[in-house]
Amino acid sequence: MRLSLRHSIALLATLAVAPRPLHAGDDEVFRNGFEICDGGPGTPGCPGFQVQTPEITVAPGEEGSYCYYFLAPNTDTIGIRRWASTMSAGMHHLILYATYDSNWNPAERQPPGTLTQGSCGLFDGGFAGWVYAAHDTTQELVLPPDDGAGSPVAVEVLPNQPLVLQIYIPNASVDPITASALLEAEALAPATEFTKTATYVTTAISFLIPPNTAAYTVEQTCATPPDVKFWWLSTRTHHFAKSATVRDDATTLLVTSDWEHPTQATYDPPGFYAFSASGLTYECIYNNPTGNPIAFGESESSDETCMAIGYFFPATRPMFCLDSLGPL
């Protein structure tokens, strides 16, 4: 299925989703001190953009991972100071990626407006950088307004940056689910200088959880990018995980015990968080009650993953680590 970006934005006025988390009242402010952008990103006086996905219908007893491809509509480079999303009932989570070629130049994976089911092809011929994720019906990520030296921290979005919104919808009910998601990207005022932040994603790929095994542990340690600070950390697994932990040597930074709502650790100026020379250790503990081994993979129902995700600055681009090989 393909729809133009113009069509996607037009759907904002026609698709029924829960109230957006952005507009709580004229006299309220963000917790970071920014005024609420009352009209929504992309409207006059509110820099940024918002995109609505097409409606997706999932039959009873089915599940699906879907990928919606689009281009950021900004014509100039912007700095995103806040991401927000609203998912229809039935959506489990969404993840936003920016896609690049093998030299980290922006590159499309599919024509804008394409909606596919299954693998997003995120690393087909290039790289993908994690940008934002949500696990609740309404969620936001507010970036630090001060990097410790007086400049705001923001995610850089290039003009016409190719983006992919990955969506997972399980339907355990007896009725079809029809769902859509709204993504909002609120930008700093034009010409505002900012410190660029990006994600560092560590992923264990070399593991095999034996059949009928409880408390199987996967653990890896990655060096972190040099001379950077982290302001946000979290984890990602699938449903076989009992827990996921991020450590710095012997210091535990966070523990996720509910895979559907990963724990988040945030750090404020002036210190933020700088990992020691020991690096970032990430650990996942799994139960496999099935009669089949479970390996790394994209399937939410039959595969597993073990990931730590962190936003760091200063950054030039997203970075990643596979098992303990990184940063790449």
CATH code: domain of residue 281: 2.60.120.230
Write out the residue range of the structural domain in which residue 211 sits: 197-322
Task: Give me the sign of the Cα torsion angle 68, 74, 77, 80.
Answer: negative
Q: Are 186 and 241 found together in one domain?
A: no
Q: Are 143 and 265 found together in one domain?
A: no
Q: Are 173 and 287 found together in one domain?
A: no
Q: Are 160 and 222 found together in one domain?
A: no
Give the model's pLDDT for residue 6.
37
Share of the chain above pLDDT 90, in %: 81
Q: In the chain, helix, strand, coil percent, each to 5? A: 5, 50, 50
Q: Please tell me the distance from the alpha carbon of residue 114 to that of residue 225, in angstroms, as a whole number.
A: 34
Q: Please tell me the distance from the alpha carbon of residue 220 to that of residue 207, in angstroms, as a whole number.
A: 11
Hey, what amino acid is at 48? G
Residue ending a domain, among 141, 157, 191, is 191
Give the model's pLDDT for residue 21.
42
Hey, what amino acid is at 303? D
Contact residues for 103 (Cβ-Cβ < 8 A; gap 6+): none
Task: Give me the sign of the Cα torsion angle 111, 114, 117, 122.
Answer: positive
Residue ending a domain, among 155, 176, 191, is 191
Structure tokens of 251? 């210091």
Q: Please tell me the distance from the alpha carbon of residue 122 to that of residue 130, in angstroms, as a whole number.
A: 10
Q: Are 107 and 132 found together in one domain?
A: yes
Q: Measuring CA to CA, which residue among 149, 161, 306, 140 is closest to residue 219?
A: 306
Q: What is the 3-state secondary structure (H, E, C) of 1-48?
A: CECCHHHHHHHHHCCCCCCCCCCCCCCCECCCCCECCCCCCCCCCCCE
Share of the chain above pLDDT 70, in %: 88
Q: Are 142 and 256 found together in one domain?
A: no
Whole-angstrom CA distances from 272 to 121, 171, 228, 311 are 34, 40, 10, 11
Residue located via tokens 């003009």? 159
Q: Phi first, then psi: what are they for 263, rounded to 5°? A: -65, 145
Q: Give the chain's domain count.
A: 2
Per-residue pLDDT tens for 199-247?
A: 999 999 999 999 999 999 999 999 999 999 999 999 999 999 999 999 9
pTM reported for the whole predicted model: 0.89
Q: Is 28 inside any structural domain?
A: yes
Q: Is 327 inside any structural domain?
A: no
Q: Are 13 and 157 found together in one domain?
A: yes
Per-residue pLDDT tens for 11-47?
A: 333 333 333 443 333 334 343 445 556 667 887 778 9
For all residues of the chain together, what is the average pLDDT?
89
Q: How many CB atoms lie within 10 A of CB 21?
A: 16
Q: Please tell me the distance from the alpha carbon of residue 281 to that of residue 222, in angstroms, as a whole number.
A: 6
Structure tokens of 242? 């009992």
